[in-house]
Amino acid sequence: MNFLEQLQAHRSIRAFKSTEIPQPVIDNVLHSAIRASTSGNMQAYSIIVTKDDARRKELWSLHQEQDMILQAPLLLTFCCDWSRMNQWCENSNANPGFDNFLCFMVGTGDTFIASQNAALAAEAQGLGICFMGTTLDNATPISKFLKLPKHVLPITTLVIGYADEKPDLRTRLPLDGVIHQEEYQSYSDDDISWIFDKKERSGWDRYMTYPDLRERIEKSGVQNLAQVYTDLKYPKNGNVAASLELFDLVEKQGFFNHQTETKSADSAAPSLGVEPPLDSPNMDD
Ligand SMILES: Cc1cc2nc3c(=O)[nH]c(=O)nc-3n(C[C@H](O)[C@H](O)[C@H](O)COP(=O)(O)O)c2cc1C
């Protein structure tokens, strides 16, 4: 399979063999992860490797008991990490300003990009992967378990191993439903019906093939796929509760320091969100 074919054959794997992954294969995954682009080449992330059975079991319970974690031999937790950069700056008599919301966003982006590189490298070597959204839902206990210091936050986790299933490709919205030429085109209700038509039918049919889910759907009185998303899978109460907890953790980990040395933030000063002018020497290193 060439690289484009691999990208387009992606499916998440949720059943794994217990077969060990040779260390050179893992090393390729990790080297590929750290080859990802990062803002200012600061690599504002860390990757925590978990192989130990007992520790995987602990993480399984912190990831809402998703059984694939017990099956697959490798878990990678990707963390937004400014602590290393801060320490280097402080040791070098430099005054870091990376403890704010912008840097939290930038570091989170860097972290996700590195994790996708790892996922692709794993798939390129015949491994299966699944991301764990439960990393953010349970970021507080996961941080404690992994002993994350200040300025470090868990963002996502990859479960990696040899697949014990070959699921069908999941549908995607049609390309024209997600791409905008030159400027954003707002959607009419007809556009929305057209864009979600295939997903609505195939998603509903797929859920109905799982007896547990079918029973939950039937008991709840949910009528369509959108209601499965809003009422069963991701209800607002749960999202708000998880948001409040995450917000507290982000603050506790030191990402909301918006004090400046002058009276107010200087919008003319360069920031991580601003590229250096094109005619300046490349300072992106
Ligand atoms: C950030 C992120 C978090 C995810 N979390 C979970 C998860 O906790 N459990 C799970 O089974 N799948 C999880 N997934 C996988 C998605 O459900 C999957 O990518 C999506 O349904 C599309 O299916 P596909 O990857 O097979 O194409 C996650 C994916 C992403 C990108």
Q: Cβ contacts of residue 100 below 8 Å, gap of 6+?
A: 255, 256, 257, 258
The pLDDT of residue 261: 79
How high does pLDDT run on average in the chain? 94
- This prediction has a pTM of 0.94
Protein residue with its CA nearest to atom 31 in ligand 1 = 131
The pLDDT of residue 276: 58
Q: Is the CB of 12 under 6 A from ligand 1?
A: yes
The Cβ of residue 4 has, within 10 Å, a number of other Cβ atoms equal to: 8
| Best residue for ligand 1 mutational test, from 63, 130, 135, 228 (most atoms within 8 Å of Cβ) | 130
Q: Is the CB of 207 under 6 A from ligand 1?
A: no
Q: Worst-scoring range by mean pLDDT, 76-80, 189-193, 194-198, 208-212? A: 208-212
Confidence category of residue 121, pLDDT binned at 50, 70, 90 = very high
Percent of the chain with pLDDT over 90: 89
Q: Cβ contacts of residue 152 below 8 Å, gap of 6+?
A: 46, 79, 80, 81, 82, 83, 143, 253
Q: Worst-scoring range by mean pLDDT, 28-32, 143-147, 262-266? A: 262-266
Query: pLDDT tens, 164-175?
Result: 999 999 999 999
Query: pLDDT tens, 34-69?
Result: 999 999 999 999 999 999 999 999 999 999 999 999
Looking from the CA of residue 14, the nearest atom of ligand 1 is 11
**Mean pLDDT along residues 18-26:** 98
Protein residue with its CA nearest to atom 3 in ligand 1 = 133
Specify the pairing of strand 45-50 against strand 128-132: unpaired
User: What span, in angstroms and rounded, lies between the C-alpha atoms of 81 and 43?
Assistant: 8
